[in-house]
Homo-oligomer: A and B are copies of this chain.
Amino acid sequence: GTMADKAQLQEAIKTQGEVVRKLKSEKASKEKIDEEVAKLLQLKAQLGGDEGKHAFVLKTAKGTRDYNPKQMAIREKVFNIIISCFKRHGAETIDTPVFELKETLTGKYGEDSKLIYDLKDQGGELLSLRYDLTVPFARYLAMNKITNIKRYHIAKVYRRDNPAMTRGRYREFYQCDFDIAGQYDAMIADAECLKIVYEILNELDLGDFRIKVNDRRILDGMFAVCGVPDEKFRTICSTVDKLDKMAWEDVKKEMVNEKGLSEDVGDRIGEYVSMQGGQDLAERLLQDRKLSQNKQACAGLTDMKLLFSYLELFQVTDKVVFDLSLARGLDYYTGVIYEAILSQTIPALVSTPAEQNGADEAGVNVGSVAGGGRYDGLVGMFDPKGRKVPCVGVSIGIERIFSIMEQKAEASSEKVRTTETQVLVASAQKNLLEERLKLTNALWNEGIKAEVLYKKNPKLLSQLQHCEETGIPLVAILGEQELKDGVVKLRNVVSREEVDVPRADLVDEIKKRTL
């Protein structure tokens, strides 16, 4: 660049530097500051030379985040609960690549297709990052001609949304899916999926919750008998879907003013979608003068009755509600649909300014944490001969659960451990590195989780501090006297008690104390 270019750039850097300083002094949100710092660094990079040498934009891609060790410890705990449940129900697991051929995803997500991440075409195939785990599962079944499987799949999926990350929503996020594929007798597998949601939400201890259940066929039948024209079923369905966020009056307004239904039709829908109940409601609606005339609705209601009889046997009816306002978005559902909602709202943390700035509301409503349903047609879309494989499944929305667990951990006085180390091998005296390494090695060989500081002569205090910071419960202390006596001084970090343990008994003693 010319000298004039350079001068201009230096001026821009100065101005941008002032913007950043101003934001910092105003205690603006971390996000906002990061954004302006990034601009500053980019300007510096353009300037080149020494000033721009390290001018990386040091951040992760928009809508993504790193997991630090504490978050990983929580994530591991949540996954263990979920995987245990899936295994208790006899599921196997599979994995699929993070990207699929673009055409595999085409035509499966309706309007949401615009949120799919595409890869650059580099003279090969057109590829896209997976948007969910259901479509890859259906592709897998068709490709391998599998007609019966009960599988779970835990993996990241990708959506170019504009997420509110403070509510635990990201562009890269985990899904935990459990699905049962196969031609079986009605509602047994469907009931097991609901049982699984019930078990997982109970075990995660997230407070009270409800599971709403409905059926695509009941929705369609209801629209038909209310007088909605066939071609408007889908769009009215997506308006009804807003009932969890909007008042009925506004939903009706949208139906009448935007979607062109008559007031009458709207009112009739309104009567139905206000209904909630259990098996009794299904029975009552089977007697409903209008609804009982509709074949689709009758099939759905008969299955709903059967479903509730199984849910009774599975002892989960205290949380499950047959709710005619539930109308999930995805096109591929053909039968039962459901959604689990936590009752509590999570209060925004007020402890640190950064978090305060991150939360845009006083209380963050966590809302839906699991959902699913029956999709009997999806696998057939991939089969060259269109052979159908009936499927029913559930997806646990794990990121929101992580957010809640993190907030709980933050609020709790108990420290989250990020390692499982049982003992630190330490010394109070100098020149004992070799002895420390020898003992550590012996412990590793016996399966003990052991650490040693990577210093020749660390201070005892810094060794004890390491234990306190990371929660290591025991210290095995070596000194000249202990070596002579063939013992190790075993110290309890919390109680500070010390006891001499013969080397031969050390492994057993550590195991006993760290059960």
Determine whether A448 belongs to the interface, using a CB cutoff of 8 Å to chain B.
Answer: yes
Determine whether A382 belongs to the interface, using a CB cutoff of 8 Å to chain B.
Answer: yes
Given A53-B386, A88-B448, A437-B310, A66 contacting B97 (CB threshold 8 A): yes
Contact segment of A16-24, A135-143, A507-515: A135-143
Given A94-B66, A118-B119, A315-B441, A185 contacting B455 (CB threshold 8 A): yes
A389 to chain B, nearest CB (A): 14
Could you say which residues of chain B place their CB within 8 Å of the CB of A125?
A: 61-62
- A interface bracket (residues with beta carbon within 8 Å of B): 35 or more
B90 close to A313 (CB less than 8 A): no
Could you say which residues of chain B place their CB within 8 Å of the CB of A268?
A: none
Could you say which residues of chain B place their CB within 8 Å of the CB of A144?
A: 66, 68
Scoring A199, A384, A385 by chain B CB atoms within 10 A of each residue's CB, the highest score goes to A384
Please report the C-alpha to C-alpha distance between residue A256 and residue B188 in the assembled complex, in whole angstroms. 74
A189 close to B454 (CB less than 8 A): yes
A94 close to B120 (CB less than 8 A): no
Q: Which of A457-501 contact B (CB under 8 A)?
A: none
B89 close to A451 (CB less than 8 A): yes
A146 to chain B, nearest CB (A): 9
A437 close to B188 (CB less than 8 A): yes
Contact segment of A226-234, A338-346, A413-421: A413-421
Please report the C-alpha to C-alpha distance between residue A60 and residue B57 in the assembled complex, in whole angstroms. 34
Could you say which residues of chain B place their CB within 8 Å of the CB of A444?
A: 88-89, 195, 199
Determine whether A225 belongs to the interface, using a CB cutoff of 8 Å to chain B.
Answer: no
A328 to chain B, nearest CB (A): 23
A69 close to B88 (CB less than 8 A): no
Q: Which of A62-121 contact B (CB under 8 A)?
A: 62, 64-69, 72-73, 75-76, 87-101, 103-104, 117-121
A386 close to B54 (CB less than 8 A): yes
Please report the C-alpha to C-alpha distance between residue A156 and residue B129 in the assembled complex, in whole angstroms. 14
Q: Please encode chain A, from 326 to 346, with 1 for each CB lying within 8 Å of some chain B CB and 0 for all others.
A: 000000000000000000000
Q: Which of A439-461 contact B (CB under 8 A)?
A: 441, 444-445, 447-452, 454-456
Given A382-B56, A384-B58, A160 contacting B122 (CB threshold 8 A): yes
Closest residue of B by beta carbon distance from A457: B185
A68 close to B97 (CB less than 8 A): no
Could you say which residues of chain B place their CB within 8 Å of the CB of A92?
A: 69, 72-73, 418-419
- Supplied contacts A57-B103, A182-B454, A313-B437, 7 more A-B pairs, CB within 8 Å: A59-B143, A66-B140, A66-B144, A119-B119, A180-B454, A188-B454, A313-B438
